[in-house]
Structure 1
Amino acid sequence: MFTELCNQIFSQSIRDYHVHNDVYQHIVNPYEKSSIEHLLYLKNWIDTVQWHLEDIIRNPAIDPVKALEIKRWIDRSNQERTDVVEYIDSYFLEQYKGVQPLPDAKINTESPAWAIDRLSILALKIYHMLEEATRTDATAEHRAACQRKLDILLEQRRDLGTAIEDLLTDIAAGKKYMKVYKQMKMYNDPSLNPVLYGSSK
């Protein structure tokens, strides 16, 4: 199933990142650039770096100049994340371009790639919650509480995976159809962000 492939690659990306556990390290994507696997690995790598940037910026002792640098990095990362999601949806559009939607076909609340985006974030939550559930320096109560949360996250991943597989099956059968709306992000666009276009006056 496609979601099994996603989960395998997301786990691989997270493990690879944590070999050095450094937001400044360069990605070494092991997959062919034209493949969907390459996009999935890239997607999760971006998410993993951003996860740790969000940790860094929440340090109450962080230098304000450093915090601003990290915040702008997170903004760039959000744009890259959105771009990769749209590339993944383009893959699905190509996969199903020959499918004629049925007369009563419906559109889903989100595209396949945006659901896969949530699957990538879940992989990160599971990895880090497992860390907490097995911390030897934490109390038994802490580990037990984190294990309960981990169990819920694992159930959530199973449910989300089933929903994604059902969506792909329905698209392939013409029961649902998909659209890709290019994200209308405004904060990075000098012509749309009033702070940016106001500063030029």
Structure 2
Amino acid sequence: MFSKLAYSVFEQSIQDYHQFDDVNQPINNPFPKDKFEHLLYLKNWIDTVQWHYEDIIRDPNIDPVVALTLKRKIDASNQERTDMVEYIDGYFLNKYSTVNVRDTAKINSESPAWAFDRLSILALKIYHMKEEATRAEATQDHRDKCQAKLNILLEQRTDLSIAIDDLLNDIENGDKFMKVYKQMKMYNDDELNPVLYQGKK
């Protein structure tokens, strides 16, 4: 089951990050580069670091210069995240390239890698909501509310995992087919963002 494998890798990445809980710590990917798990670990590490970037930038007392530097890092991280999703989709395109697609096959609304992206973010939500649901110094009311949210997130994990595995089975059986569109982000491209290309004149 791809979803179970992916989630276990995401959990390991999150646990490894929180050993030091530092956005500047280097990644130490434990999986060989030729393994699918290597891609999954890297994908979640990017998501985990960005999660904490987003926390830091919301500090109301953050220095504006620091905030601008951090915003640049978030932009770069978003691009990395998108690139990694497209790379993982390339893995699946190659994996299922010889499948005999049925005439009745349909396309899915999202590619497998974007579904894994959602599962990666969900793993982060579950980790941090569990922290809040068990935070000793928080009020009981706070913990109860967070536990209720955590229960919903866990249910969502089950549903999303089933949906991912069903999608991959359908693709493997030729009942659905993959069609991947590049994201074509414009704001980071100095040929497409007017602020950037006008500034070059």
Shorter-normalised TM range: over 0.9
Structure-1 separation of matches of 2:176 and 2:82? 23
Q: TM-score scaled to structure 2, two decimals?
A: 0.99
Q: What's the counterpart of residue 191 of structure 2?
A: 191
Match of 2:18 in 1: 18
1:80 match: 80
- The secondary structure found in structure 2 opposite 1:19 is coil
Q: How far 1:180 sits from its partner (Å)?
A: 1.6
Name the structure 1 match of 2:53: 53
1:118 equivalenced with 2:123 (yes/no): no
Q: Which residue of 1 aligns with 2:100?
A: 100
1:36 to partner: Cα distance: 0.7
Shift of 1:136: 0.3
Whole-angstrom distance in 1 between the partners of 2:36 and 2:104: 30
Normalising to structure 1: TM-score of the pair?
0.99
- 1:140 deviation in Å? 0.5
Deviation digits for residues 47-87 of structure 1 (CA, Å, limit 9, x no counterpart): 00000000000001000000000000001001111111111
* Aligned residues with identical type, % of pairs: 69
The amino acid across from 1:68 in the alignment is: L
Letter in 1 for 2:161: G
What does residue 134 of structure 2 align with?
134
- Residue 90, structure 1, aligned to residue 90, structure 2: yes
5+ long unaligned stretches in structure 1:
none
Distance 2:95 2:199 in 1: 45
Instruction: For residue 180 of structure 1, give the secondary structure of its aligned residue in structure 2.
Output: coil
Residue 175 of structure 1: aligned partner: 175
SS at match of 2:19: helix
Deviations 1:103-162 (A, max 9, x none): 111100000000000000000000000000000000000000000000000000100000
- The worse-fitting range, judged by mean Cα deviation, of 117-126 and 83-92 is 83-92
Q: Which amino acid aligns with 1:145?
A: K
CA-CA distance at 1:4 after TM superposition? 0.4
What 5-or-longer segments of structure 2 have no aligned partner?
none
**Corresponding residue of 1:43:** 43
CA RMSD in angstroms comes to: 0.6
Q: Give the letter for the 1:96 counterpart.
A: Y
Distance 1:76 1:33 in 2: 22
Q: Quick one: which amino acid aligns to residue 200 of structure 1?
A: K
What is the rounded CA distance, in whole Å, between the counterparts of 2:35 and 2:72 in structure 1?
Answer: 30
| Whole-Å separation in 2 of the counterparts to 1:197 and 1:95 | 39
Write out the 4+ residue segments of structure 1 that deviate beyond 3 Å after TM superposition.
none
Distance, in Å, in 2 between the alignment partners of 1:96 and 1:200 is 43
Aligned to 1:181, the other structure's residue is in SS state: coil
